[in-house]
């Protein structure tokens, strides 16, 4: 075995995907599975295919190409607003894209015509989270522009909540999006097929039977991969949770003063760590760091272990209160959140261990 190691529970992921797909189908909601979190890994992608997923979204053309080359023929949505410099490259591989800029739509139109295909476009609207999205007052202008372009079809509108400012999807902002769609349809003189309300954080409304019937699409990643909803700080009922587990090896185990000693950089703020003086404490240093994981998203499985921080190559933990007698060379296991999973999957230095 090679450490650090990421244990990946494939069957759990597949079962989560199947369960969510079936739940949404009962509500006539299309599931677009967001697959960017596992960095194009084909073993994990196979678990998605086995669950019957027929629409995926990714932000990286490198991953999309891998899926296509592996034989995937169903719908691909370009999740991140495309860079102008990559549009010619991505158009042959995608079926749809999120857009917020007229110039982006124009270039997709030209590339689609050259490729003799039609690309569906979904305009993203900013209704509060302040990540990507056009402001409501400018929605009609962009929609009319897209309507005039060949090679593209305005399929609908969508929004994103939670990912930047942490704005929680609720009935109020969802209704605002619905109203924008109805107003735009009246201006265009036709119905739009897609109202894409959001991501994992929106599932809470579905579970509470508060998700408006006008919602026709959800773009979901975290719920499938981890069974968690970090925005609402909850585990999703009846799903498999924390399907990625990090294992890391202790390389140093010593008692040390908990309070740093010496003059702190950055005007006395140091590295921004909140350090409490607890006297002499037992610290375990593990061979994994910021290059491999987001240490804020690690949850130790061994009771009594506390994550203190990390450098590029080391994870610093307090194991004074840990159960059992730890030694150098022992392995500690951590449940991980979406951010830590994303970085671990991207790191070439983390061994991937697939568990069926």
- Residues taking part in catalysis: 36
Length of the chain: 356
CB 75 within 8 A of CB 58: no
Torsion of CA 344, 346, 352, 356, to 10 degrees: 90
Residue 95: is it exposed, middle or buried by C-beta count within 10 angstroms (0-12/13-18/19+)?
A: middle
Residue 344: is it exposed, middle or buried by C-beta count within 10 angstroms (0-12/13-18/19+)?
A: buried
Quote the distance between the C-alpha of residue 5 and its chain's center: 21
Taking Cα atoms as reference points, which of 132, 145, 68 lies closest to residue 99?
132
Buried/exposed 287-322: b ≥16 CB within 10 Å, e otherwise: bbbeebbbbebbebebeebebbbbeeebbbbbbbeb
Say how far apart CA 248 and CA 317 lie, in whole Å.
Answer: 12
């Amino acid at each position: 075995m090679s450490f650090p190691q990421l244990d990946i529970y494939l069957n759990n992921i597949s079962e989560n995907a199947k369960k969510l797909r079936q739940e949404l189908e009962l509500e006539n909601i299309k599931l677009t599975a967001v697959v960017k979190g596992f960095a194009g890994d084909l073993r994990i992608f196979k678990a998605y295919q086995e669950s019957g997923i027929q629409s995926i979204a990714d932000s990286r053309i490198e991953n999309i190409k891998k899926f296509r080359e592996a034989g995937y023929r169903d719908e691909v949505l370009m999740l991140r607003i495309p860079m102008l410099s990559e549009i010619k490259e991505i158009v042959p591989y995608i079926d749809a894209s999120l857009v917020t800029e007229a110039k982006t739509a124009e270039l997709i139109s030209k590339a689609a015509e050259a490729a003799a295909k039609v690309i569906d476009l979904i305009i993203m609207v900013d209704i509060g989270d302040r990540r990507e999205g056009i402001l409501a007052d400018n929605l009609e202008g962009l929609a009319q522009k897209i309507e005039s372009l060949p090679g593209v079809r305005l399929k609908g509108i969508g929004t994103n909540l939670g990912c930047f400012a942490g704005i929680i999807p609720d009935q109020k902002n969802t209704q605002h999006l619905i109203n924008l769609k109805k107003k735009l349809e009246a201006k265009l003189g036709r119905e739009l097929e897609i109202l894409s309300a959001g991501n994992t954080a929106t599932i809470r409304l579905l579970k509470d039977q508060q998700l408006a019937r006008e919602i026709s699409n959800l773009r979901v990643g975290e719920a499938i991969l981890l069974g968690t909803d970090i925005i609402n700080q909850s585990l999703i009922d009846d799903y498999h949770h924390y399907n990625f587990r990090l294992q890391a090896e202790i390389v140093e185990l010593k008692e040390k003063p908990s309070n740093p000693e010496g003059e702190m950089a950055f005007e006395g703020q140091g590295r921004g760590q909140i350090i409490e003086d607890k006297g002499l404490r037992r610290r375990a240093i593990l061979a994994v760091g910021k290059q491999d994981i987001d240490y804020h998203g690690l949850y130790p499985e061994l009771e009594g272990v506390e994550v203190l921080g990390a450098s590029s190559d080391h994870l610093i933990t307090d194991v004074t209160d840990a159960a059992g007698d730890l030694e150098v060379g022992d392995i500690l296991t951590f449940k991980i959140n979406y951010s830590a999973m994303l970085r671990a999957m991207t790191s070439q230095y983390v061994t991937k261990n697939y568990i069926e």
